[in-house]
Amino acid sequence: MVKPLVSGKFVALSGGVGGAKLVRGLADCLAPSQLTVVANTADDFDYWGLRICPDLDSITYALADLNDEQRGWGLRDESWVTLEAMRRLDDQQWFQLGDRDLASHLFRTQALRAGQSLTAVTRQLAQRLGSATRLLPMTEQHVATRVFTDIGELEFQQYFVREQCRPAVERVEFAGIDQAELNPEAIAALADPALRGIIICPSNPFLSIDPILSLRGCREAIAEAGVPVVAVSPIISGRAVKGPAAKMMRELNIPSRAAAVASYYGELLDGFIIDEHDNEQCSEIVRMGVECRAAQSMMSDLNTKVQLAAATLSLIEELA
């Protein structure tokens, strides 16, 4: 780890893929005691009787440097013996679970069945896999993303994995959100007097960040924190680096541009980081009352993750 670049504490809101990359960079710029990551759990579901938490696991694996960069999800050096055996029994298996990854799901499911909280088991998994950063599920209650599409209503993983995001999205709902509240540990992190800034990771705004922001107490806690909120665009040159964000924007009649992401977050934001290729959109974002900086935002290795994290923290410092 490099020396902490800034003092004080930070909260990052994150989904899986893009979020995990920036979080990995932040973990190199900050000491573990300085960073709390709040992860989306609306993608969580049950498969083979196990509780699967894709975003929590992507972040945990990235922080522990165990993630598969090539594939973009799951663990490195994975094997697929169990999946192949399951496919011999039932060829309708559409979700891929690797053997090593399965251990995480077994560990979590056992702990949850024994009465532990998701927050507690997430902490244990992170510690045992070798990450010191505090990672929190956004809530202890069950929230499930439902995607309403041109082929009907789909559960999130049916849309994302089984249908490979092909159906056109008409709207998204988070079942259970009215009964769910922001994780009390996240509320405490947002109320910490040492808090210096809140980072919205370059995650899918509709599928990864909206569930967190929609939780009871979340927007209030962010407003009361009174610190700069800076988001990093998941859209580069009009495209998502991975996943359906840009396609969804077009389907939802939102232009698939970085500036449209800033406009979507609206009042919440004090600062926005866009890719250097989108530099010309900065003035438009500034006119929204949001400070904007262009940076190299394609995170292809540890160095680019750390550089983007450092640029994000610098903008927070400037805005403080």
Q: Which residues would be at the binding site for ligand GDP (CB under 6 A)?
A: 14-19, 21, 43, 55, 58, 202-204, 208, 232-234, 236, 240-243, 245, 297-299
What's the closest the beta carbon of residue 252 comes to ligand GDP, in angstroms?
A: 14
What's the closest the beta carbon of residue 258 comes to ligand GDP, in angstroms?
A: 9
What's the closest the beta carbon of residue 73 comes to ligand GDP, in angstroms?
A: 7
Residue type, 100: R
How many residues appear in the chain? 320
CA distance 319 to 206: 26
At what angle are helices 118-129 and 99-113 packed, to 10 degrees? 140
Nearest to ligand GDP of 39, 187 (CB atom): 39
What's the closest the beta carbon of residue 210 comes to ligand GDP, in angstroms?
A: 10
What's the closest the beta carbon of residue 58 comes to ligand GDP, in angstroms?
A: 6
CA distance 261 to 47: 32
SS in 3 state form for the chain? Answer: CCCCCCCCEEEEEECCHHHHHHHHHHHHHCCHHHEEEEECCCCCEEECCEEECHHHHHHHHHHCCCECCCCCCCECCCCCHHHHHHHHHCCCCCCCCCHHHHHHHHHHHHHHHCCCCHHHHHHHHHHHHCCCCEEEECCCCCCEEEEEECCEEEEHHHHHHHCCCCCCEEEEEEECHHHCECCHHHHHHHHCCCEEEEEECCCCHHHHHHHHHCCECHHHHHHHHCCCEEEECCEECCEECCCCHHHHHHHCCCCCCHHHHHHHHHHHCCEEEEEHHHHHHHHHHHHCCCEEEEECCCCCCHHHHHHHHHHHHHHHHHHC
What's the closest the beta carbon of residue 206 comes to ligand GDP, in angstroms?
A: 9
Nearest to ligand GDP of 16, 98 (CB atom): 16
Nearest to ligand GDP of 10, 272 (CB atom): 272
What's the closest the beta carbon of residue 246 comes to ligand GDP, in angstroms?
A: 7
What's the closest the beta carbon of residue 216 comes to ligand GDP, in angstroms?
A: 22
What's the closest the beta carbon of residue 113 comes to ligand GDP, in angstroms?
A: 25
Contacts of 24 (CB under 8 A, 6+ apart): 62, 63, 65, 302, 305
Nearest residue (beta carbon) to ligand GDP: 18
